[in-house]
């Protein structure tokens, strides 16, 4: 009885080792073609015409863990939007199917809005989703190791 109990873990380990031997290393994450650095001044359009412009990020460029962004938003009529109640922001990692652990807040400033903290805790491609009056604008951001 003792011999079979000892042999079973060795057999399982040998089988697992054989299965893993055929595995290759996963591709580097993030993919340089799909995941690029963003720059202040870049703008993204929503489906219905709202525009999100990144004024500055802290840290710059965006990095793992806590980020704060200053943004300028124009609604679908092109008017600057300063009312944080009209805006919902979320961070989502499409490759993994999950969001950030904390929903970022939005506060109004004299010349735009401050979004944060954006908790981008994993390296890879993130989507920062700006929902203005039902119109979604997605800002892709690449987080390096």
CA dist 107 and 51 (Å) reads 18
Q: Determine the average pLDDT of the residues in 117-145.
A: 92
DSSP-assigned letter for residue 90: E
Query: DSSP H helical segments within the chain, as ranges?
Result: 2-21
What percent of the chain is predicted at pLDDT more than 90?
61
Cβ neighbours of 22 (radius 10 Å): 6
The CATH number of 43-143 is 2.60.40.10
What percent of the chain is predicted at pLDDT more than 70?
77
Q: Which helix (H) or strand (E) holds 10?
A: helix 2-21
Question: Residue 34: what pLDDT?
Answer: 58
pLDDT in tens, 43-70: 999 998 889 999 999 999 999 999 999 9
Q: Determine the average pLDDT of the residues in 96-117.
A: 94
Cβ proximity of 78 and 50 under 8 Å: no
Phi and psi at residue 63, in whole multiples of 5°? -140, 175
pTM of the shown model: 0.74
Domain-wise residue ranges, the chain? 43-143
């Amino acid at each position: 009885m003792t011999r079979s109990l000892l042999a079973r873990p060795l057999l399982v380990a040998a089988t697992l080792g054989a299965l893993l031997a055929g595995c290759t290393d996963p591709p580097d994450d993030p993919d340089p073609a799909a995941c690029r650095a963003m720059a202040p001044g870049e703008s993204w359009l929503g489906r219905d015409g709202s525009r999100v412009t990144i004024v500055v990020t802290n840290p710059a460029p965006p990095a793992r863990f806590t980020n704060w962004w200053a943004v300028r938003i124009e609604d679908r009529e092109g008017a600057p939007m300063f009312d944080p109640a009209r805006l919902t922001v979320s961070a989502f990692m499409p490759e993994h199917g999950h969001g950030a652990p904390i929903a970022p807040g939005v506060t109004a400033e004299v010349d735009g809005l401050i979004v944060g903290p954006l908790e981008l805790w994993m390296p890879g491609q993130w989507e920062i989703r700006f929902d203005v009056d039902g119109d979604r604008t997605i800002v892709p951001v690449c987080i390096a190791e």
